Structure 1
């Protein structure tokens, strides 16, 4: 197919001018003349482009995240930054917020730069980004993902990007409260009130009911040892109220910059994060019925030099002691002044320790033995008397037989006499004599031969064999020894008697008053064998038996660097408001860590501590009566192998905590509590293990292996008098 030809020849179109552009024709000016641009129009266009370039440089905000080295197109127009939303568009982009994905429990780190400075959270996807300038990570995230609403995790202020203005809508107050809950004194006072028609249960976003304070905690990997300790401490009312009401953010930082006090106190951030976690546990408007201790775990791993991490299991008692001491220092407590922080005012008590050294008895006995050896040596150096007193080979009861010469003191064994000096005849000289009444020759009668000389006697009648053991004299006693030795100088006798009396060298017991945060109870060793009825499979011991360690009479022997010591313990009044008891259940040897499965039986109400307090007043029983608040229990789980017959399978430790639910008591017990005093109502109990929270009967608490217990001192009965007086007034009327 041939190519189609043009309808007109191109040479005929040389003198025809092209039409002017529409942009310039619409302005009504003839700017093009015969296809050539006028010089004045060209100069005006150049001036306009240069003015736009310098105007963009002047409009760039100061202090933004733009870098000086970054190259940018000169013709690009910068985004418009607004100080306030456009009129009528105050709720712009707020419908894109997704509350289902918001989780502010994780550490506030930028997902791009991993920085914790000036962090913002995207309310659409829940990620953390740094900054909100023109070249910040949050700004690029807003342009790339079309997510526009961000909240500052330090100031709780919400902004819209890329416009950059702040949102002041009241519809975002629930998000701000979840990110950083704040409470008033009236809110804290209602936490322990009983649930009734006015105190309704709380619900999550999905409609699931939950009780504030009794929520699960996420076990990231192996951090359940921290979860149970945090749950137990969060239910100690004085410590909980202090953390809910005090503002640690203003004390540790001001506008995102640490102040001088926070720089001097490295544990201030630990207190801040623990307080935030406790406030989230008691949040009545939470989006979910669980919390995550990830932010606290990161700070704990940093402060403990990786001693406590989320990837390795640890001992809750070790963590509790470390955590309480660092909380005390983080709250400004003193190392020498007692009661300088809320931690010591709640848990610290006094203990009387009487220590007696047992190594002194052994030293006195060794000194007496050395004195006896010195006296013996001096007696031997005086001559024959000493040799006679140390005679070993005593004469046989044969008349007229002289005694042997004394054996030198240095000889340690008997030597045979030399040949020719007497002794037993050789074996060839021995002949068997005929029996009595039998002649040597047949048909002849010979009288019986005289009795042969006993073996061991020579011709002189002297014994050459050692005497039988029964004929040896008994070893000399102290009295016979000193009677046989020659008189010693009076000074030596006096010195020997002093050294031989150990009672004069026993040191007096030392008494010290020490302060404690928790008391350790020693479990009895489990029996090796079962009884006939197989009742000792799992031994049991009452809690009062373990507490007898602190009665001031029971002695406990401990090994120290300089020897063994005997100690007696007794509590000193006044007792602290809360007692922390630790059952020593694990013992480490050279190979493995042994677990004591003994069950500790106890009553969760009415623990009387008067028998263990020195000078306790029997008339004031309320000051020494305690009720259980939290009970941390241990549970052994087989780590490998599902076959129960495999005895060599390792055990993995898991921890859970039993908590008293004060607000779950029934309303029918209100009158009983008012008449019998505070704490007399029937409380319910819940058991929390990781994310699972279930009710448990109070009568079955002791069936688990208790490890840590927190007991609360019962309040005075005077607090119930205002409730009793109105009933008396009604009866009179």
Structure 2
């Protein structure tokens, strides 16, 4: 059988090469052959080759994904990559900067897509994993305000992110601060992202649970111009002396909150004090928290003192910080100790007698034996019981030879079964007993001492008469002088007149009169009213106030010393605490918000001390609410305390204009607003006193600059301002 001929001639396949064998792959997925520089499509960079391209197509091999590359700069033409994913409506930088995973406050970044906080931006950080898992790529450093794109890691330098940086940490210039309180014809109404209008400085504060006591204090302090300007310009950051103080973080967070309150480019019309609250709870050892209501006066006192120390202030040198330069004043206190009367006088006399007899022999009432009901009798050497020493006698051995046994025991010289009783307490003789003449003894009876005694009692006529009370007292004094002849008693001299001290204060306390106990003629409860000038009479130097100090009554008189501070803080004392409940005084304090004259309450007031006319800046008021159950008020329940603050708007943003279209700072047309949590509403200035005022901040009226104050060259002399100016108070 002939062979089948081939389909192709062998000579035609001479130039055909055999198929290439499978490529050898290493563990990292790269080609193991030589000539790697000519790998696939002429590429020379191994980093550009992925595991899928190197794979030979074997279905059994798992696909591998290479890690994203870290870049120092964005790719050319892609500078604004991922910026369209930023959501400004979810950004809220008011909460404490803590990582949502590790709860660390170090190197915290905020995701600009979802608003959460994460720590770090390295390949193993929480922000890096969040970028890979959720696809959120834009992050801002909360300390440096620099924006990065993850996982690439390069910085974004786009100007479109400046509004986010300003909201996270607002910054102001001196010209911006100088324009805050100036009246202009155009209003300063700003708008949020949602289009809601608001006025910078008059925004609501979030009440997380029970922290409205802190909100009203922060709002009031944020409207004190010298203190506000100090924190708006962030002058604390430039001071390196106080950065190491324990309260430095407290000052930093308070300054950031003040700058957010006055932010003209805010995304929302409210702020949250959560970051400041966390620091306050830490520094006060949980005394002031966001879950428990507290007294605004207690918090204000604590907060001002810690701000003073955090700003580098001294405990002894006055005026060493902006807090003391704004609020601190002097008051003269005249104290006089009152003499005790009645039972108090008797107790004082007994205490004085005890001090006088401090080193002498104890009195009968203070004798240790007199405090015992059944005192054990000492045993004599003969086996018989010895009676206790008589009152006024000590336990010295020299006294034992004069002690006598009780009747019927015998064995004592000169005593029988009917021996005479010992003398009454406080009466003694040289031998500790009454001296009696020795009776005649019958023959054959011996007394044991070479004398004979009779066992019959002596006749009554032979006994001496009992001594009188004056003789007993004189005998007791003679005995004390004989026993302690060398001991002298010194008594502290009692001050003959009142003592005067000069004290410094940050706030003045005013005492409200007691509320009436009975109803009026219409059988309705009376809400008493008192004028503010009547309460200030406490500091006129004539009114006396009695206080209990160290178990004694002290009468005090107060009088202010000039010059007065630029700002006065007045506290109306409404609450009194006893062992059972806390009582509230509902008295209404009437006042005029403009033109409070403090000259009658200043000692030796002169024109050189400055003006004494003050205008109201902020007024913290109290509201009592009954607890409600099923929309019905429960009378037996305790009252719930709520706080709000009334603020004066001096900028002209909401003030009414005059007829000619201009505004005047002295026209009395200031606009007042009341802020309670997130609600900010206007209120008439004539109705401010209707609420229960608790804390008031008054500003000293500045002298108007006129021709009378001009110098020789015709120019007005520059005077330091403490109101709207930038200069320190």
Which of 292, 317, 330 is the equivalent residue of 1:350? 330
Q: How many residues align?
A: 551
Matches within 5 A, 1:271-282: 271-282=251-262
Residues 1:244 and 2:232 aligned together: yes
Equivalent residue for 2:548?
Answer: 559
- Taking a change above 3 Å as real, the CA distance of residues 44 and 174 of structure 1, as seen in their structure-2 partners, is closer
Per mean C-alpha deviation after superposition, the further-off stretch among 231-240 and 188-197 is: 188-197
The 8 Å contact of residues 633 and 657 in structure 1, kept in 2 or not, is answered as yes
- Taking a change above 3 Å as real, the CA distance of residues 181 and 646 of structure 1, as seen in their structure-2 partners, is closer
Equivalent residue for 1:626?
Answer: 614
TM-score scaled by structure 2?
A: 0.69
Residues 1:579 and 2:559 aligned together: no
Aligned equivalents of 2:590 and 2:334: distance in 1? 29
- Taking a change above 3 Å as real, the CA distance of residues 279 and 30 of structure 1, as seen in their structure-2 partners, is farther
Equivalent residue for 1:220?
Answer: 208
Deviations 1:388-428 (A, max 9, x none): xxxxxxxxxxxxxxxxxxxxx999xxxxxxxxxxxxxxxxx
Q: Kindly indicate whether structure 1 or structure 2 has the higher relative contact order, using CA contacts under 8 Å at least 6 residues apart.
A: 2
Equivalent residue for 1:693?
Answer: 680
- Taking a change above 3 Å as real, the CA distance of residues 335 and 671 of structure 1, as seen in their structure-2 partners, is farther
Deviation at 1:668, TM superposition (A): 1.6
Deviation at 1:246, TM superposition (A): 2.0
Equivalent residue for 1:601?
Answer: 590
Equivalent residue for 1:726?
Answer: none
- Taking a change above 3 Å as real, the CA distance of residues 544 and 146 of structure 1, as seen in their structure-2 partners, is same
Q: Secondary structure at the match of 1:718?
A: coil
- Taking a change above 3 Å as real, the CA distance of residues 179 and 30 of structure 1, as seen in their structure-2 partners, is farther
Equivalent residue for 2:279?
Answer: 299
Deviation at 1:684, TM superposition (A): 0.8
The CA RMSD over aligned residues, in Å, is 4.1
Equivalent residue for 1:321?
Answer: 301
Q: Secondary structure at the match of 1:172?
A: helix
Deviations 1:122-154 (A, max 9, x none): 111101111111111111111111111111100
Aligned equivalents of 1:722 and 1:46: distance in 2? 95
Aligned equivalents of 1:626 and 1:101: distance in 2? 44
Residues 1:161 and 2:140 aligned together: no
Equivalent residue for 2:192?
Answer: 204
Deviation at 1:601, TM superposition (A): 0.6
Deviation at 1:79, TM superposition (A): 2.0
Equivalent residue for 1:95?
Answer: 84
**Unmatched segments (≥5 aa) in structure 1:** 1-27, 58-72, 253-259, 372-408, 412-480, 490-503, 724-733
Residues 1:541 and 2:516 aligned together: no
Deviations 1:451-493 (A, max 9, x none): xxxxxxxxxxxxxxxxxxxxxxxxxxxxxx9xxx9xxx9xxxx
Aligned equivalents of 1:87 and 1:702: distance in 2? 66
Aligned equivalents of 1:365 and 1:147: distance in 2? 79
Deviation at 1:579, TM superposition (A): 0.3
The 8 Å contact of residues 204 and 286 in structure 1, kept in 2 or not, is answered as yes
Deviations 1:68-126 (A, max 9, x none): xxxxx997643211111111111111111100000000001111111111111111110
Residues 1:135 and 2:115 aligned together: no
Matches within 5 A, 1:174-573: 174-197=163-186, 199-249=187-237, 262=243, 264-359=244-339, 507-533=496-522, 537-573=526-562
Deviation at 1:534, TM superposition (A): 5.0
- Taking a change above 3 Å as real, the CA distance of residues 636 and 135 of structure 1, as seen in their structure-2 partners, is same
Equivalent residue for 2:379?
Answer: none
**Unmatched segments (≥5 aa) in structure 2:** 1-14, 40-44, 48-61, 354-422, 426-469, 479-492, 711-729
Aligned equivalents of 1:669 and 1:714: distance in 2? 25
Which of 89, 93, 98 is the equivalent residue of 1:104? 93
The 8 Å contact of residues 564 and 609 in structure 2, kept in 1 or not, is answered as no
The 8 Å contact of residues 679 and 715 in structure 1, kept in 2 or not, is answered as no
Deviations 1:329-374 (A, max 9, x none): 0000000000000000000000100111114676699669999xxx
Deviation at 1:621, TM superposition (A): 9.8
Deviation at 1:189, TM superposition (A): 1.0
Which of 660, 663, 683 is the equivalent residue of 2:670? 683
The 8 Å contact of residues 139 and 162 in structure 1, kept in 2 or not, is answered as yes
Equivalent residue for 2:657?
Answer: 667
